[in-house]
Each structure stands twice: as structure tokens, then as C-alpha cells.
Copies of this chain bind each other. A is one copy, B any other.
Amino acid sequence: MFWSKAFIPTLKEVPKEAESLGHQLLLRGGFVRMLMAGSYTYLPLGLRVLERIQGIIRQEMNAAGASELLLPALQPLELWQKTGRDKDLGEVMFKFKDRRDRNLALGPTHEEIITDLLKNNLSSYRQLPLVLYQIQTKFRDEIRPRFGLIRACEFIMKDAYSFDQDEAGLDKNYQLMFEAYKRIFARCGLKILITEADSGVMGGKVSHEFMVEAPLGEDVVCFCPQCSSAKAAKGDSSLCPACQINMEQVNTIEVGHIFKLGTKYSQALAANFSDSFGQLKPLIMGCYGIGVSRLVSAIIEQNHDSDGIVWPKEVAPFDVIILPLDVAHPELMREANSLHQELEACGLTVLLDDRDERAGIKFKDADLTGIPVSIVIGKKGLEEGKLELKLRKDKSTKFIPREEVLKAARGFKL
């Protein structure tokens, strides 16, 4: 990919609208732009990060036996009235009428919709267990959208739903999702605190939250520095039940939340299956959410330095950025272009900064994009048959012979 075609509007100055460091770095690196409070455009670099995160989620969900579908955002309000959640969620739901006077809502989450789908398309215990998920745009009329992608009115969520014939099945699926979540967040380069949590408007008895420590986080969590166990802070900090030492309080962002729902939705919507004795029973459900767009910001909170974002390898928008220092130099550009092709042929994603800009600007912009590896092509190196490799993480540089670049490149990926 050529920088000149990619549309990466980096910013030299810190934009005034930025409410947090993560938001600031997303704007400065040309990853997102705000259309209005709570509503964001993912520019090409931002979309690539989003898609890499989604790729990790899909891999881990599929490996756990879940199957992907896509439910509508536009929904009949009627289904929400049956569970009473039109009232529970209140003004958070966008509600309106269409030209034929139908009462519609934009999905803030999809328990009602998927339960109704299963009610109409599943009848026997032989079709269970089943875990379905989607990666989809959700809409919530937030009182106070803030911190860029952290709390938006339009955002991307992964929501999964499990369906079982008994509690033992639910326990098993819950555990599978719990383990998948740990792998997903680890691959995103995140350190996670897991707390037992309140089920709130979702209902059900058991739930766990997956939290990322961040100064701007709106949830306060106590965690034990010795055994890493965590719990929601209520009142003062308290003793760790295991280690009997004082727990520390930290601010966190919630990036995942899983719930044992039980039969709350299946009973309200009459989503039953017939068991092996032919008896009708309500489906036993669990639900499992990840704030996908919010994850982008959470990753930045834990992976940046004073010059910009430092993307973990698996979520970087590109594996490598090539920086030819003089685009008017034909031989140098020939070298840049052939390196571009060779690296892509090795399976790496590559951004080539083909702009006619000063070296200083290119280096600064490369730092802002947070791409893990830069390859600098200058006249001197070209004459000596060497290229300069620079790692974003620790700013270390080394010159390596041209013929060793592809070998080194294999190490750029995981």
C-alpha cells in the first residue's frame, strides 16, 4: 500500500477535541475522525487495526466452536416490550417510527432478537448446544459520549450467545468463552484484570468483567499485586481473600463482559426446545460481549510512548513501513518498490511512504502510525548495499545487508 493513496491525515498539533491521550493519538496518527460527538469515521489505518482485532476474535470464537451470523440493527420495538427491556434500557435505546408507523429501535444489544430467532428455528435438544456470535455495529443514545471510541453512540461489538439444555451445558460454554476471552485479550497485547461483576440490566446470576487498567477508566477495581485476583471496588480497598494483604485500587476500562443468563429471555419470549423425553423446556442461555472498537482505545492506553502508538504485532495496521528518504531518486525508489513487493510476497503487510516529504516528517509520521518495523532507505545505505531497520518499540536501529532483509522479515511477524 502506498501512503499517497491510503489517506492517512496525520496531525502535527494535538487536536483540541481530544479528551484523552488514546483519543489524541488516534486522531494524530490518522486513525479516526469524529463526525459528531459519539460518531466516528474509521480512516483506512484505523479500519485495518479494527479488522485485525476482529480477525483475532473470529479465530478464537471459531476455535471455541462458535458460529458467526449477522443480526439486523433495525428491530421491531415489540420484541423489547415482551421482555420489558424497552423500559429497563430507557433513553439509551434509539426509538422511532417508520413511514408505515411501525415502532422501531436500533439494537443496543441483541438478546431479544437472537432468542426470537432460536424460538422460530430450533426445536429439539438434538440441535443443542449451540454458540452463535456476530461482530456488529450497535447504537446507544449515551448521555455523555466521551473519550473517542471508549464511549460512543455508534460502536462495534462482538456479541455471542450460548444455548444449552441444562445448567451443566451452560457452565461448560461459559468456561469455553472465559478461556477464549483470555486468549483474545492476550493476543491484543493487553494485561487484563478479571472481576466477578453485577449482571445489571442483562439479568442472570453469574457474570465476569474483563478490565484494562487505564487512568481514564470509569470503573474502579481492587486487585491484589501478589496473586493478581481482582474485584469491583465497593467502598474502601480491602484485603485479598487469598493473600490477606491490602488490595490496590486502579481505574479500568471494561472491554469484555460475560453473563450466565439462564432462562430470563427464553421464558419471556417462549423460546423452548423439546428435551429427550419430548417435554418442552426453555433454552438455557449465556451471553458474551467484547467492545471491539473500544478495544482499539484500550490497546493504545497500554501501548504507547511520547511519540505515539506502539501497536502490538498482532493488531498493527501494517507489519512494516518503508521510508525512502528521497522520492526523486530513481534508483532509491526502485529499491523501495522492489522491497515492497518482496516483503508482501513473504506474507507481510507493507506501507510505503512515497510522499515527497522531508525525512524528519516521515520519521515522525512513522512513529505516529505505530507500525512495529521501519525500513529506512537512504542514499548512503543504498551505495553500501545496506538498509536501516528501526523497531518502533524501543527505537533501536541497525543496518543490515540488503540480502538479509527477507530473512529478518520473517521475524517481524509472530
Contacts and interface: CB of A to CB of B under 8 A. Distances in A.
Contact of A143 (B36, B96, B99): B99
A39 B121 contact: no
B67 A5 contact: yes
Interface stretch (A73-81, A241-249, A266-274, A397-405): A73-81
Given A9-B122, A40-B72, A68-B44, A96 B99 contact: no
Contacts of A102: 36
A137 B73 contact: yes
Most B CB contacts (10 A, CB to CB) among A68, A75, A91, A102 go to A68
Interface in A126-148: 126-127, 130-132, 137, 139, 141, 143
A69 interface: yes
Contacts of A70: 41-42, 47, 50
Interface string A93-126: 0111011001000100000010011001110001
Interface in A1-26: 1, 4-7, 9
Copies in the complex: 2
A130 B141 CA distance: 34
Contacts of A7: 67, 69, 121, 130, 132
Nearest to A356: B126
A72 B35 contact: yes
A75 B35 contact: yes
A65 interface: yes
A154 interface: yes
A71 interface: yes
A191 interface: no
A91 B122 CA distance: 37
A9 B407 CA distance: 49
Contacts of A154: 72-74
Nearest to A11: B121
A237 to B, nearest CB: 35
A281 interface: no
Contact of A5 (B74, B95, B130): B130
Contact of A76 (B36, B40, B71, B127): B36
Nearest to A44: B67
Contact of A71 (B6, B41, B72, B132): B41
A121 B5 contact: no
A190 interface: no
Nearest to A114: B41
A206 interface: no
A52 to B, nearest CB: 13
Nearest to A144: B100
A113 B42 CA distance: 13
Nearest to A96: B96
Contacts of A36: 75-76, 102
Given A73-B73, A98-B153, 6 more contacts: A35-B71, A35-B113, A38-B74, A47-B69, A47-B70, A126-B356
15 contacts: A1-B67, A7-B132, A35-B75, A41-B117, A42-B70, A44-B67, A44-B68, A44-B69, A44-B132, A73-B73, A74-B154, A96-B96, A98-B141, A99-B141, A106-B106
Interface of A: 1, 4-7, 9, 33, 35-36, 38-44, 46-47, 50, 65, 67-76, 91, 94-96, 98-99, 102, 106, 113, 116-117, 120-122, 126-127, 130-132, 137, 139, 141, 143, 153-154, 356
